[in-house]
Structure 1
Amino acid sequence: MYDVVVVGGGPSGATAAEDLARSGKRVALLDKAGRIKPCGGAIPPRLIADFAIPDSQLVARIGTARMISPTHRAVDIPIENGFVGMIDREHFDEFLRVRAAKAGAERITGTFQEILRGDTTAVLYRDRASGETRSLPTRLVIGADGARSNVARGEVPGGDKIPYVIAYHEIIKSPGKTATYDPMRCDVVYDGTISPDFYGWVFPHGEQASVGMGTGVDGVDLKKATAALRRASGLEECETIRREGAPIPLKPLDRWDNGRDVVLAGDAAGVVAPSSGEGIYYAMVGGRVAATAAAATLASGRASDLKLARKLFMKEHKTVFRVLRTMQDAYYKSDERRERFVSLCHDIDVQRLTFEAYMNKKLVRARPMAHLRIGVKNLAHLMRLVPPTYG
C-alpha cells in the first residue's frame, strides 16, 4: 500500500514525489518514459533557488530578450540584475526523477490506465517491460500527466475541457553567433505568419537551440510555420536533432481535486502562464502544493484538505495569471495589436518591471509611478492614440 501514487514524471510529478518521499511517505512515481516535452527550456532564478537546481543543469545563461514585431522590427531587452537560465528537458526531467528516487520514491515505468476503487483505491497501469496490467494500491493519487491528463479527464469535474495551444519545436545544432542568431539571446517572434494567436521562439540551449511556435487555431501547419521561422532566423541549414509537439494549457482549472482521493498538478491542472506560455516554474510549484495538500490529507484524514493545492497556488500566483491573461487577450488578436505590443516593450519601465516580475515571480509594487506610466501608455496603444514607435 502506497501513501501516494504520482502519475506523470515531468517537473511537476517529480517534484511532488520528491517532497512526499522526503517527508517519509511511501510514494510511487509512475512515468511512461521516453517522451520529451516541447519546451523553450527557460527557467527563472527563483526556480533555481526554490528547488535547489545545480549549475550543472544549466546549458546557458541568457542576458538579453529580443522581441520581434510582425514588421520585423526588433526590441532588445537587457535582463538587468539577473539572467534567464536555459535547460534541456531531456536531461532536466530525468535529473528530477532521479532526485525523487534518491529521496525514497519508487520509480515505475508504465502507462496509466485507470483508477479502480473497492476496499482500497488502486492505480492500474500497463508495465512497459512486460506489457502486463498491474496494480498500485494507494491512499491518494496525484495526477501530473500533462495537458490532456487522463487522470483529470476521468476523475475531476471539468478536467476534460481545459483550453490549450499546440506547441511544436525543433531542436537544432547551434551555429554559434551569427548576424541573426546570438547564443546569449532569446528571440520571441510576434508575427501572424508564424503564429496567428501566440508567438514563435528561438531559444539557445548551449550547443543546441529550440526553434518553435504555438497556436490554438485549427489548420495551422506547425512544421511549415517553424520552417519559416528557421529561414527568417538564418537557421534553415542547421542540423535538426529532434522534433516534438504537445498541447500546452493556458488556463488553470476551476477545480483540482475530486473531493475524495485525487488531486491534480502541473499541466494537468492547467498551470501554464498565459501570454508567455511559461510552464516549468509553475509546474514545479504545482507539484509542491499538491504534495502539501496530499500530506495534509494523509495526516488529517479529511479529503477536503486536497483543496489546499489550488488555494495555495492561487494565493500567490492568481494576480500574475490574471494580468498575463488580460495582456494576451488585448494584444494577441491581430498583427496590428502585436506591433503595438512590441512597441510598448521598448519602454524602460515595461522592461524593468517585466523582468523583475519574471525573475521573482510576483508583481513588483515598489514603483507605483512606473505602474501608472505603464497603464497610461498601455491605454494609449490599445486606443490607437499613439503610433507604434521604436528607439
Structure 2
Amino acid sequence: MIHDVVVVGGGPCGATAAYDLALQGHSVALIDKAGRIKPCGGAVPPRLIRDFDIPDSQIVARIDTARMVSPTGRHVDIPIEDGYVGMVDREHFDEFLRDRAACAGAQRHTGTFLRIERDGDETAVVFRDKADGTEQRLRTRLVIGADGARSKLGRAEVPGGDTIPYVIAYHEIISAPPKAANYDPKRCDVIYDGAISPDFYGWVFPHGAQASVGMGTGKDGIDLKAATADLRAASGLSECETIRREGAPIPLKPLDRWDNGRDVVLAGDAAGVVAPSSGEGIFYAMVGGRVAALACEKVLATGQAKHLALARKLFMKDHKAVFKVLGAMQNAYYRSDERRERFVTLCHDIDVQRLTFEAYMNKELVKARPLAHLKIGLKNVAHLLGIVPAMGRAPRATHPAE
C-alpha cells in the first residue's frame, strides 16, 4: 500500500493535518511516540474552539482575567471582555485529536521516526514500532513533519531545519486548591521578572482541578525547577501535589522555508511556528497542520511538488503581521527588568487591554479603531524612551520570587 500522506508527530499540529486529509478521503498514516506530554500552559482562544470544532468536554477551565506581574511585584488585572481564554490539558486534548483523526480514517501507528528512505521515485518513512521494537516502513507520496521544535525530519530534509532558535519551557502540573493566597482558578497569571526568567516569562494557568506552573528561557545556567518552585511559593501552591513535570524546547522564529521541494513539508513547532512574546503555540500549530494538509492536497491533485510551498504562504498571509508585532514587542520589552516594568505599566492602559485581547481571541490585528492604535504607538514610544516613568515599587513581600 502506498499512502497519500504520512504525518510524523501526533500533537495538535500533526493530528489536525491527519484529520483534515482523512476527511477529504486521502489515505493517511499518523506516527506518534505516545507517552510524552508537551509542557504547555494549555491556553486556547475562542477562535481555535470555533475553527477546529472543539467540544466543551475538552475545555477544563474558562479564564476571565489575565494578571500581568512586574519585576517589583506590581500587577494589573486585565478583564477579558466579551470572551474568555479556554484551557485544555494536553494529556487528554492531544489524544482526543489523535483519536478523532483515526475515527475519520487515518491509520495510527505508535513509534519513533527514524528516517526517510528513497528508491527512485518511491518514498518510505521508517519508524521503530513501540510494541515490538521492529523497524516498519510506510510507503507514501508525501510526508508532513510535525515532530516538534528540534524536528529530526526537518533537520534531515529541509534547509535551515537544524537552526531554529528556541527557549526551553518547563512546567509542573499540580493539584490546585479552589483558591489560595495569590491564586484564582479563573485567572491566568503572567510573571515578567528577570529573577524567574531573564528573557521570557513565568506563568500560573488554572486547569480546573489542576494548574500549570512554569517558565521558559533561552539562556544557559538557569535553574528551571528552582524558578518554578519560586512561582509556586508566591502563589501559595508549594504544598500542592505535583502530578507531573515536563520540559521541552519552544521555537522562536518561523523557518524561511518549510518544504524540501520534493515530498516533505514541515508544520507547527517543526516549522518554528510559535507566537513571539506570548509563546502561544496550540492555535498556530493547528493552523500549521491545516495549511500543510491543504498544500499536500494541492500536490496530490496536480502532481507538482512546488505546491508544498503553499503551506508557508497561506500561514504567513494570515499571521505574519501578528508575528512581526509580537516579535518587536519581545525584543523591546524582554531585555531587562526596567523594560519589563514599563511593559506592565503600559498594560494598565484600557486601549492596550482591549486591543490585546480582541487580537488574541480573533487572531488578527484589530483595525477598527485607528486612533486607539495611534495612541498605543505613541505611549509605547514614550515608555521605551523613558519619557513616562514606570510606576513605583510594590512591597517586597509581593515579589514573585520571594
TM surpasses 0.5: yes
Aligned counterparts, 1:161-240, within 5 A: 161-240=163-242
Could you report, residue by residue, the CA deviation over 1:233-254 in whole angstroms, capped at 9, with x for unpaired residues? 1111111000000000010000
State whether structure 2 residue 291 is matched by structure 1 residue 286: no
Secondary structure (helix, strand or coil) at the match of 1:99 reads helix
Secondary structure (helix, strand or coil) at the match of 1:46 reads helix
Alignment partner, residue 266 of structure 1: 268
Dislocated runs of 4+, deviation >4 Å: none
Mapped to 1, the partners of 2:15 and 2:366 lie a distance apart of 30
Mapped to 1, the partners of 2:306 and 2:347 lie a distance apart of 43
Alignment partner, residue 256 of structure 1: 258
Aligned counterparts, 1:225-374, within 5 A: 225-374=227-376
Alignment partner, residue 45 of structure 2: 44
Mapped to 2, the partners of 1:378 and 1:333 lie a distance apart of 15
Mapped to 1, the partners of 2:236 and 2:57 lie a distance apart of 29
Could you report, residue by residue, the CA deviation over 1:58-101 in whole angstroms, capped at 9, with x for unpaired residues? 00000000000000001000000000000000000000000000
Cα deviation, residue 386, structure 1: 1.0
State whether structure 2 residue 106 is matched by structure 1 residue 109: no
Mapped to 2, the partners of 1:174 and 1:59 lie a distance apart of 13
Alignment partner, residue 20 of structure 1: 21
Listed as ranges, the gaps of 5+ residues in structure 2 are: 395-402
Cα deviation, residue 229, structure 1: 1.0
Mapped to 2, the partners of 1:41 and 1:332 lie a distance apart of 22
- The one-letter amino acid paired with 1:357 is A
Secondary structure (helix, strand or coil) at the match of 1:197 reads coil
Cα deviation, residue 8, structure 1: 0.1
Secondary structure (helix, strand or coil) at the match of 1:171 reads strand
- The one-letter amino acid paired with 1:164 is Y
Aligned counterparts, 1:51-90, within 5 A: 51-90=52-91
User: What's the TM-score once normalised by structure 2's chain length?
Assistant: 0.97
Cα deviation, residue 178, structure 1: 2.1
Could you report, residue by residue, the CA deviation over 1:153-203 in whole angstroms, capped at 9, with x for unpaired residues? 000000000000000000000111123100000000000000000000000
For the 8 Å contact 2:126–2:136, the answer to whether it is kept is yes
For the 8 Å contact 2:229–2:238, the answer to whether it is kept is yes
Cα deviation, residue 231, structure 1: 1.0
Mapped to 2, the partners of 1:205 and 1:127 lie a distance apart of 33
For the 8 Å contact 2:251–2:272, the answer to whether it is kept is yes
Mapped to 2, the partners of 1:341 and 1:68 lie a distance apart of 10
Could you report, residue by residue, the CA deviation over 1:90-140 in whole angstroms, capped at 9, with x for unpaired residues? 000000000000000000011000000004100000000010011000000
- The one-letter amino acid paired with 1:16 is A
Is the deviation greater in 229-238 or in 310-319? Answer: 229-238
Alignment partner, residue 129 of structure 2: 127
Alignment partner, residue 157 of structure 1: 159
Cα deviation, residue 232, structure 1: 1.2
Alignment partner, residue 138 of structure 2: 136
Could you report, residue by residue, the CA deviation over 1:137-156 in whole angstroms, capped at 9, with x for unpaired residues? 00000000000100100000
Mapped to 2, the partners of 1:74 and 1:148 lie a distance apart of 35
Mapped to 1, the partners of 2:344 and 2:329 lie a distance apart of 12
Mapped to 2, the partners of 1:118 and 1:360 lie a distance apart of 45
Alignment partner, residue 31 of structure 2: 30
Cα deviation, residue 6, structure 1: 0.1
- The one-letter amino acid paired with 1:110 is G
Mapped to 1, the partners of 2:61 and 2:109 lie a distance apart of 31
- The one-letter amino acid paired with 1:41 is G
Secondary structure (helix, strand or coil) at the match of 1:39 reads coil
- The one-letter amino acid paired with 1:160 is D
The size of the alignment, in residue pairs, is 391
Overall identity of the aligned pairs, in %: 77
Mapped to 2, the partners of 1:302 and 1:207 lie a distance apart of 50
Cα deviation, residue 389, structure 1: 3.1
Mapped to 2, the partners of 1:216 and 1:342 lie a distance apart of 22
Alignment partner, residue 4 of structure 1: 5
- The one-letter amino acid paired with 1:168 is Y
Mapped to 2, the partners of 1:233 and 1:86 lie a distance apart of 19
Cα deviation, residue 373, structure 1: 0.5
Mapped to 2, the partners of 1:389 and 1:294 lie a distance apart of 52
Mapped to 2, the partners of 1:331 and 1:167 lie a distance apart of 19
Alignment partner, residue 378 of structure 1: 380
Alignment partner, residue 400 of structure 2: none
Mapped to 1, the partners of 2:21 and 2:144 lie a distance apart of 11
Could you report, residue by residue, the CA deviation over 1:20-64 in whole angstroms, capped at 9, with x for unpaired residues? 000010000000100000000000000000000000000000000
